[in-house]
Amino acid sequence: MLLSLVSAKHAPGTTTVAALLMWAWPQVAARQTLLVEADPAGGDVLLDMYEGAVREPEGRGLLAAAVDARYGMRAGQILRYAMRLDSDGHRLLLAGLADPAQVAALRDTWSEIASALTGLGGFDPPVDVIVDCGRLGSFAPPVPLLAEPDALAIVLRPTLRDVAAAAPRLAALRESLPPPPAGPDLAAVLVGEGPYPVGRIADFLGVPVVGSLPHDRHLADRGLGILAERSYPRSALGRAAASLARGLHELLLDRSRALVTSQASEPTRARYLPAPMAGVPELPAAQQPVGSPPVSPRLGLPGVTCALPQVPFIPDVSTAHIPGVRG
């Protein structure tokens, strides 16, 4: 399973959503979850999660992977550049660029990286991949990671300016990407509160809203370091992230089942927020309908595994360094 996340503008929380999803992703049958920071503007997760206490080990990360990908890259090979975020190795991170200028090294290797990542679905055990692609329309975007995932979710706040910014970007994506099953399923994820109900936003954007995360003041203060806290899984944010992860996982499973059965899968049902406030401008319905039912030939289906090398050593940067982090 490959899920890419993007935003239009205004830093709605894309990287944060990607990290919270990786943390909460359902761990079915020993599957691992890999978070990839493919934002051309650079990576944030290590810094945010460990508050500067942990550095990327030498030779790891997206830049090192890109340098090697010039000579071709198999699926298992890309895990050599990842690091482990928990004690049992279920959660992995391919840390992003330290300097946006390094994106030049990726221009010719995004395709190799993308096919190595899509191939991880057939790895044994399979690896589910969540990619933070940064803002749409950025310089040197990771185009194959926008075109080849099973699902592409746009992250936005439920505000007029975020919805207005997302609409033309989604329209451009619809124009440039083939509809499912050849192209990814498009979806939206909301962060924080706003005057518009989820159903209205879904209608306006023409994509299902898979779920939403609340604004969390503690997260705003501490960043992803909150994942180390015992209280996090029971917090409103932790529960919402788990629910969002289940919703997206289910969307991807639907595609997988549709591939097997060649039948249409149900669109994801939107969760509803409070009604719009008085005086808030109405959002018209989308001009274009949502794409046809999703099927992907690239999903890692049960039983469709291929012989790939064992996962190589991945340095553990979690519990040994961060007091209180639980796997």
Per CB under 6 A, does 6 bind ligand ATP?
A: no
Exposure b/e, 173-195, CB count within 10 A at least 16 = b: bbeebeebbebbbbbbbbbbebb
Q: Of 28-47, which residues contact ligand ATP (CB under 6 A)?
A: 39, 44
Where do we find the tokens 């000579």? 71
What is the footprint of Mg ion within residues 15-44 (CB under 5 A)? Answer: 15
> Which of 119, 158, 223, 294 is in the footprint of ligand ATP by CB under 6 A?
223
What is the token pair recorded at 90?
A: 């279920």
Binding residues for ligand ATP, how many (CB under 6 A)?
A: 19
Q: Which range of residues in 57-65, 215-223, 283-291, 302-310 is near ligand ATP by CB under 6 A?
A: 215-223
CB of 131 to ligand ATP, least distance (A): 12
Secondary structure percentages of the chain, helix, strand, coil, to 5: 40, 15, 50
Q: Could you say which residues in the range 244-263 bind Mg ion, by CB under 5 A? A: none
Binding mask 80-99 for Mg ion (x = CB under 5 A): --------------------
Region near Mg ion per CB under 5 A, out of 10-18, 139-147, 254-262, 276-284: 10-18
SS3 state at 127:
strand
Binding test (CB under 6 A) with ligand ATP, winner from 2, 3, 6, 13: 13
- Angle subtended by helix axes 110-119 and 62-69, to nearest 10: 100
Length of the chain in terms of residues written = 327
Site map (CB under 6 A) of ligand ATP, residues 64-103, x = contact: ----------------------------------------
Contact between 16 and ligand ATP by CB under 6 A: the answer reads: yes
Least distance in Å: CB of 224 to ligand ATP? Answer: 7
127-135 and 151-156 as β-strands: parallel, antiparallel, unpaired? unpaired
The two most distant CA atoms of the chain are separated, in Å, by: 60
* Binding-site member from 213, 259, 273, 283 for ligand ATP (CB under 6 A): 213
Exactly one of 4, 7, 77, 115 binds ligand ATP (CB under 6 A); that residue is 7
4 binds Mg ion (CB under 5 A): no
Q: Check if the beta carbon of residue 163 is closer than 8 Å to that of residue 201.
A: yes
- In the three-class reduction of DSSP (H, G, I as helix; E, B as strand; rest coil), residue 115 is classed as helix
Shortest distance in whole angstroms from residue 110 CB to ligand ATP:
18
Query: What is the side-by-side order of every strand in the sheet holding 2-7?
Result: 83-84, 91-94, 32-37, 127-135, 2-7, 151-156, 185-191, 209-213
Closest residue to Mg ion, based on beta-carbon distance? 15
> Among residue numbers 146 through 165, which ones bind ligand ATP (CB under 6 A)?
none
Beta-bridged to residue 153, according to DSSP, are: 5, 187
Position 219 contacts ligand ATP (CB under 6 A)? yes
The strand pair at 83-84 and 91-94 is best described as antiparallel
Alpha-carbon distances, residue 278 vs 186, 195, 196, 275 (angstroms) = 30, 9, 11, 9
Contact between 142 and ligand ATP by CB under 6 A: the answer reads no
> Which of Mg ion, ligand ATP, none binds 162 (CB below 5-8 Å, type-dependent)?
none
Please say whether the beta carbons of 17 and 189 come within 8 A.
yes
* Choices 14-22, 88-96, 181-189, 277-285 (CB under 5 A): range interacting with Mg ion: 14-22
Q: Cα separations (Å) of 176 from 147, 169, 183? A: 9, 11, 10
Residues that bind Mg ion (CB under 5 A): 14-15
Residues that bind ligand ATP (CB under 6 A): 7, 11-16, 39, 44, 134-135, 191-192, 213, 215-216, 219-220, 223
